[in-house]
Chains A and B, each alone.
Chain A
Amino acid sequence: MNTLADACDWLTDSANWAGDDGVWHRLTQHLVLTVVCLVISCLIALPVALVLGHLGKDGALAVNISNVGRAIPTFAVLVLLLLTPIGKWREGPTVVTLVLFAVPPLLTNAYVGMREVDRDVVRASRGMGMTGRQMLWQVEVPLAMPMILNGVRIAAVQLVATATIAALAGGDGLGRTITAGFNLASTPQVVAGAVLVALFALLVEGVFEAAERLAPKRGAR
């Protein structure tokens, strides 16, 4: 418990929050990194998943990609990219690695969500004379929205968590606070950094949870 008290002391010391190595700066870097990677991943994964789901093709592929994604060590990919020409661009390896790991859950959830839309409803919309495009945007996507958003939530939390690993390879973000603590042999700083990242991840989870609760319920209208 003494360590936790020390970590609290570290956290309440305003000197640790200011400056380039301070918590505020690291927190901002972490946030920017997460948001940028989430947006890029969504732009890549969602169109593919929606089209595949609409056409009903290659379902096994989409789901398997997700499982294969778990099997590849993030850390290994990061270091490999770091040693390639991409490594010369400061945040390059981190962004590519993180996007690579956020795409599988997005893809799988959106695809499964699209396939789980009641086939009778889809057939009915076709019977009403809707074009493929109308069916996609007015029927399938709205009905699949809960699953799609669930994928976005999983991806976001995973990004916050995985972004810390960037620090092992000299990247920016809150992981830096932890690795710097390791190098200084300062347990309070390590624990404080870990607590901050964990809280950040839980906060993201909480924000999505709240958004889901507050969102207007379909069918209630």
Chain B
Amino acid sequence: MTAPPDDCLARNEWICGEYLSTRRDILLDAVGQHLQLTALSVLIGLALAVPLAVPARRWGWAAGPVLAVTTILYTIPSLAMFSLLLPVYGLSAALVVAGLVLYSLTLLVRNILAGLRAVPEETRQAARGMGYGPIRLLLTVELPLALPAAMAGLRIATVSAVSLATVGAIVGFGGLGNLIYSGMNTFFKAQVLTASVLCVVIAADLLLLGVQWLITPWTRAARA
């Protein structure tokens, strides 16, 4: 019988280069799944949030119910949300995406609405005076002016989605969360630490990307 190899994997150390090199494919797959879950849910959330925020801005009575419903959705715990959606979606990635969409909705709707409300009344009147119809007013004046606030919301929603996606491990689709979950059950320290650090790295990268976008408005103006 050969003696077990005496490397950091066998000693179960927190930081282990051996782990990184031998499990590279598993890690890359998990990062890929994590990014997919996050991107898909935030994009769907955005596609739903704009049509919700616009009527809420236009008709005052619509704002109350829209905000109330999205806030209530946000209060539902993630573990509970995933399990409540279980009968609808079964054990699938769609279940995790649907849960994350509902969470991002709250942050996005709030921020887009705040951005639309901050558009000065004089600006809107000037555009109307120039003969802008309501659709053109919305698309060429109101939404572009609401963009900074909307972007702030998008950034927060994306970062929250990265960290919430890990809970998807309960149904087997949690990206890096899957590695954390299985690492916990097998007491595999290197796997738990590596996956956790990767989560934070992804979130921090996305956060920085958003900040860069915000502080360099001239790059966008040049393209437009």
Contact = CB atoms under 8 A, between A and B. Distances in A.
Interface of A: 3, 67, 70-77, 79-80, 82-83, 157, 160-165, 167-169, 175, 178-179, 181-182, 187, 190-191, 193-195, 197-198, 201-202, 205
Contact of B166 (A76, A162, A191, A195): A76
A75 B84 contact: no
Interface string B170-202: 100000110011011001010011011001100
A162 B200 contact: no
Given A77-B196, A79-B183, A202 B170 contact: no
18 contacts: A72-B163, A72-B200, A72-B203, A75-B180, A75-B181, A76-B195, A79-B181, A79-B192, A163-B77, A165-B78, A168-B169, A168-B181, A178-B79, A191-B84, A195-B80, A197-B77, A198-B77, A201-B75
Contacts of A182: 83, 170
Contact of A73 (B76, B196, B204): B196
B86 A71 contact: no
Contacts of B162: 71, 73
A3 B199 CA distance: 34
A74 B160 CA distance: 10
Contacts of A3: 87
Nearest to A182: B170
Contacts of A193: 80, 83
Contacts of A195: 80, 84
Interface of B: 72, 75-81, 83-84, 86-87, 156, 159-160, 162-164, 166-167, 169-170, 176-177, 180-181, 183-184, 187, 189, 192-193, 195-196, 199-200, 203-204, 207
A179 B170 contact: yes
A165 B193 contact: no
A76 B199 contact: yes
Nearest to B206: A71
